[in-house]
Each structure stands twice: as C-alpha cells, then as structure tokens.
Amino acid sequence: MSTHVFYYLAGTLGESERHPNVFSLPKKNQHVLSDITESFPLSGSFHFRFKTKIKDYGHVWMDLNNPNSPVPKFGSMIFAKVLQLDKVRFSGVSRGRQEAGTRNPAAPNSKSLRHKRPQQQQQQQSRQSRQSKQSKQSKQENQSQAPSQGQQQTREKTKPRQQEQQQQRAPANDDDDMFSFSTNKSPNKPMAGAIYSTVDSAPDIAPADVRNALGRLATSTNKVETKMADTSEMSAAVKKKYLQRKADMQANIDAKLAHHLLEAEQVEKDQVERDSVKTRLKPKLLAWSGDPAMGTLKNIRALLATMDSILWSGAKWKTLGMGDLVQPNRVKIGYYKAIRIAHPDRVQTGTVEEKYVASWVLDMLKISWETFKNKEM
C-alpha cells in the first residue's frame, strides 16, 4: 500500500492545478516534510504548501519549511503546490518575458542593438537613403506621365468594391430604415411583419372573437394601449409607416389580452362546474370508499371489488371479484391496474366529472394500500 502525492509546479509553463502530477510514498500513519523532499521526483530547491481541511470553513493551503513538520492530508491523499526556488519563472504571457515585469515589452531589445556591427548599420543607412532617392524620382516621373495599364486595372478593380460597400452602407429606402427593427433589411419585406421580429406573435384568434372578448371582458383597468407619439413633424411616408406599425402593435396586444381573458373566463367556468360536480358526486363516492377523516375507510379489497360502480363509461376497467383478491400478490396487481386507470395523465382530456372521480379514486386507493402493505405485505 502507498500514499499518492498530487502536485503541480506553480508559475511554470504547462502546469495546471486541474491536471496535476503524482508520485507515491510508502504508507505511514504520518508523513513529514522530509519524506516528501527525499522522494520528490524533480531535482532542485522547492517550497511546498499542502492542502488541508478545516471544519466549518472548507480547505486552506499550509506552508511548511521544517523538515520534521507533519504533512497534512486531504482525505486519504496529499495535495501540494510546489514552487521551484532555483529557476527563473515566467508569467506565461510570452516565453521571453520575465515574471517581475521590469522590462517594457514595447521597448527595443537593447541587447540585440548592442550586438549589431557598425558596418551593418552603415550599410543599412546607405541602402535606405538610396531607396528614398529612387522613390522620389519615380514619383516625379509618374506625376508627369499618364497612368500605366497596371494602375488602370487596379483602379477598375477597386471601383466595384467601393460601389458594393456604398450599397451595403446606404439603406434601400430611408423610410424603411428609420423604423426597422432588425439588422436584416429587405426592401420587399412589408413593415407590418417587422414588429413580430421582436414581439411574440399574437395568439391565433379570429378578429371577431377578439372584439367580442374585449367587449365582454375588458375593463378600464386591464385595457392596454400603446402611447402615441407626436406626428406633426413627420413626413407623409414616415407617418404612414409609423401609424401602420402602431396599428400592428395594438392588434397584437389586443389579441394577447383577449386570449388571456378567455382563458381566465374558462378557468372560472371550470371551477363552477367542479363545484357542482363535487356537490353531486361526493355522497356517492363517500359511500364507495368511506371517510378517512372519520376512520371509516374501507380496505383495499373492498375498494377494488366495487370500483366499477363509480367509474365512468369507457374507463376500460376489468371488474375484480373477491375471489381474485384473496392472495396479497393478486391484490398488488389489481392495485397497480387501478391507479393506472385513475392516473391524471389518462384523464387529461376527460370531462370535469371524470377528472374528479379519478382524483378521488386515486387518493382513496393510495391511503388504503399503505394500510394493506403494512399489514399483509
């Protein structure tokens, strides 16, 4: 058996805490720093800091200098950050830049300038002076002469590029650009569709239904209207685009408001229907199951055997007799078939009455099953 020591060299290129190195030590109850330094696989002078856990805080890093100091463990392993003391470290930005940052990276390299030979400097200066004289002469000749064929070709090549850039910069229509809501401008795209690029599309409700819902359900408190801007200083084309956009926004808002009001109205109707169904069916359901609050809940066998008397038509429930429910394993099978019939996902599209009956059956079966399971299973 051995103890693993995970470490990485801080300030060294290619080293990362996420991808540490590892070496092994002979297993001991307590290792000291000298055990680490003697078995460390790299040569040189190093400083070690070890990861240790502190209660109610997490973990910290402990620096050790004394060779006889005990090394803390993190779990069953040792984690260490190692700093090499006898080697120049780099920051990792560039290979030749020192970590201390005493040298300006934008400054010229004084060492390379110092080692340039004087003859090479003179040759370079003379070459630059000759090139500058030749360039001046060539410019004067070009100004006095007509442009060459090569220059005409380059000008012809650059003209279409400039025209394309101007076409991309200039909008196809000033009015469309002023009220555009997206960066993909298309002159053929109607302005009415631009609003839906940033606003969710309206619900699919007929305009007549929208007007009917707003007339019946909308009040002064829930009516939403967009703010109108001053159009006196707008041109005719800009005013037309602006009014069209406002009309589209208002139609979108009205459709969403009508959809919300119709949903709220339907919820209220469903609640009224549920209350009436509950009043009408609760005595029948209590006679089938008994009342858990009064301690009269029937056992699981009786519920399964008489469940066909309260289920709706089309429930696809196979009637079980008491002879089918003698063995506990058969009761378990019948219970799981029953809760599958009454599961909310199975009656999601059913009527309010079917949903209420299924909810009651599911609750009573679960309570009775827990009692049966504790006694007979």
Sequential DSSP letters for 92-119? SS-TTSBTT--S-TTS--HHHHHTS-HH
Beta bridge partners of 59: 53
Between these two residues, 338 and 13, which has the higher pLDDT value?
A: 338
274 touches 224 (CB < 8 A) = no
Length of the chain: 377
pLDDT confidence bin for 166, thresholds 50/70/90 = low
Is the predicted pLDDT of residue 98 greater than 80, yes or no?
Answer: no
pTM tops 0.85: no
pLDDT at 4: 87
In what order do the strands lie in the sheet containing 2-9?
21-26, 2-9, 78-84, 46-54, 58-64
Q: Tell me the fold of 2-84.
A: Ribosomal Protein L25; Chain P (2.40.240)
pLDDT at 169: 53
pLDDT confidence bin for 323, thresholds 50/70/90 = confident
Place of tokens 């209207």: 225
Amino acid at 113: L
pLDDT confidence bin for 296, thresholds 50/70/90 = very high
277 touches 356 (CB < 8 A) = yes
User: Cα dist. 189→184, 289, 326 in Å?
Assistant: 10, 65, 74
Highest mean pLDDT among 28-42, 53-67, 151-165: 28-42
User: Into which CATH architecture does domain 290-376 fall?
Assistant: Orthogonal Bundle (1.10)
Instruction: Show me where the domains of the chain are located.
Output: 2-84, 172-279, 290-376
pLDDT at 110: 46
pLDDT at 183: 40
Of the candidate ranges 56-65, 113-122, 177-186, 308-317, the one whose mean pLDDT is the lowest: 177-186
Residue-by-residue DSSP string for 146-203: PPPHHHHHHHHHHHHHHHHHHHHHS-S-HHHHHT--SSS--TTS-GGGGGGGTSPPPP
Number of other CB atoms surrounding residue 273 within 10 Å: 14
Is the predicted pLDDT of residue 19 greater than 60, yes or no?
Answer: yes
Number of other CB atoms surrounding residue 82 within 10 Å: 21
311 touches 317 (CB < 8 A) = yes
Between these two residues, 227 and 67, which has the higher pLDDT value?
A: 67
